[in-house]
A = this chain, B = another copy of it.
Amino acid sequence: MENKIILAHGSGGKLSHDLVKNTFLSRLDNPWLAKLDDSAVVDIEGKVAFTTDSYVVSPIFFPGGDIGRLAVCGTVNDLSMSGARPLYLSLSLIIEEGLPLADLEKIVVSIQKTADEAGVKVVAGDTKVVQHGTADKLFINTSGIGVIAARVDISGANARPGDAIIINGPIGDHGIAVMSQREGLRFSSQLESDCAPLNNLVADMLAACRDIRCLRDPTRGGLATTLNELAGQSEVGMEIYEGNVPVRPAVRAMCEILGLDPVHVANEGKLVAVVPAGDAERVLAMMKRNRYGAESAIIGQVTAEHPGRVVMKTRLNTSRIISMLVGDLLPRIC
């Protein structure tokens, strides 16, 4: 019993305080958390980006990451996609009674490592515990705030005809890596999730070009859904060259077996950038020098034709419309 989470860990009383002190504060140590007040108080000035995401990935440990790394990366990336420099995260856990304390500790360590890598601080937190059978091991919410530099104006509504569309590497790794661990589907694979914090990559890109129009991370719904969102918000068309979209052979093979299209499979360390055509090569060269952009590629362009639609030019030189994900491809992928 001592090695598992019990309901009293979520009571708000003595055991909650012990858990916070022994499991969280010992690892996520910083002056904001240590104060144990109702809110963290931080100094910020200017345009502030604010975002939230809950993570329900199953299983909570997967090749290339875990729910903790995912929760930090996801929120760091959402802030980065607004052109913000991520600064502070909150961390809220819903734990199913019975979770081994060792699993929780491994995840807190992973959170700390990923936060260190991204240069963000976890400044506020909350823990709830629910009865066995009323959650699935662990759900994590991270919210985050960051600051946006002057002159940066990134939005899904800013794409213009002629702009280039860039991705920072092969698509579908996260979805297939998590899928490979699922009950009934377990298959051996060298494939790892691409789960990574992209804020430093975005900082490099902004150093190369202040006029980046759109940034978005193609997570749930995959590249296809993200491109459709951008085309819709900006009221433009998009043309993608299938031959330019990087996909690892293992992902392509698994997608064929499972009947999936890689453009609909989730990523957790990818971003789509829309940049003025004249800046595209400079941004691309800068991206390739970053560890999370080595396999970056220009995959298409923004068009005035067919606003709201994304068209894929295939290797056979035919065209097909790429739609948003419809239905439910891979539940609990993030």
List chain A positions with a Cβ less than 8 A from chain B. Answer: 6-8, 10-17, 35-56, 58, 77-79, 81-82, 84, 88, 90-94, 123-126, 128-131, 133-136, 139, 141, 143-146, 148, 155-157, 215-217, 219-221, 225, 229, 233, 264, 266, 323-329, 331-332
Measured between C-beta atoms, what is the minimum distance from A18 to chain B in Å?
10
Asked if B155 and A84 make an inter-chain contact with CB atoms under 8 angstroms apart, the answer reads no
A36 contacts B233, C-beta separation under 8 Å: yes
A48 in contact with B52 (CB, 8 Å): no
Residues of B contacting A38 in the complex (Cβ-Cβ under 8 angstroms): 51, 77-79, 81-82, 215-217
Q: How far is the CB of A149 from chain B (nearest CB, A)?
A: 12
Question: Contact between B78 and A141 (Cβ–Cβ < 8 Å)?
Answer: no
Q: CB within 8 A of A139: which of B94, B156, B220, B264?
A: B94
Pair B52/A143 contact, Cβ less than 8 Å: yes
A77 to B38 CA separation, bound complex (whole angstroms)? 9
**Residue of B with least CB distance to A217:** B38
Cβ contact within 8 Å between A90 and B143: yes
Residues in B with CB closer than 8 Å to A130 are: 56, 136, 331-332
Considering the chains assembled together, what is the distance between the CA atoms of A123 and B49 in angstroms? Answer: 10
Which residue of B is nearest A50, CB measured?
B40
Q: For the complex, give the distance between the alpha carbons of A237 and B36 in Å.
A: 18
**Besides the known contacts A38-B79, A56-B135, 10 further A-B residue pairs in the complex with CB atoms under 8 A apart:** A13-B225, A13-B326, A38-B51, A38-B216, A39-B146, A40-B51, A44-B44, A52-B91, A94-B139, A134-B135
Q: Complex Cα distance A324/B146, Å?
A: 36
Q: How far is the CA of A51 from the CA of B32 in the complex (A)?
A: 11
Q: Could you tell me if B36 and A329 are in contact, using CB atoms closer than 8 angstroms?
A: no
Evaluate contact between B51 and A145: CB separation under 8 angstroms: no
Residues of B within 8 A of A55 (CB): 128
A128 x B37 contact (CB < 8 A) = no
- CB-CB under 8 A from A135, the residues of chain B are 56, 134-136, 139
Contacts A41-B148, A141-B54 given; does A220 touch B12 at CB 8 Å: yes
The distance from the CB of A128 to the nearest CB of chain B, in whole angstroms, is 5
Give the contacting residue for A52; candidates B49, B92, B136, B148; CB below 8 A. B92
14 contacts between A and B (CB under 8 A): A11-B325, A11-B328, A13-B327, A15-B328, A35-B156, A39-B49, A44-B45, A50-B145, A51-B90, A52-B91, A58-B134, A92-B141, A130-B332, A143-B143
A42 cross-chain contacts in B, Cβ below 8 A: 47-48, 50
**A8 to B, closest residue via Cβ:** B328
CB distance from A243 to the nearest CB of B (A): 25
User: Which residues in B have their C-beta under 8 angstroms from that of A90?
Assistant: 50-52, 143
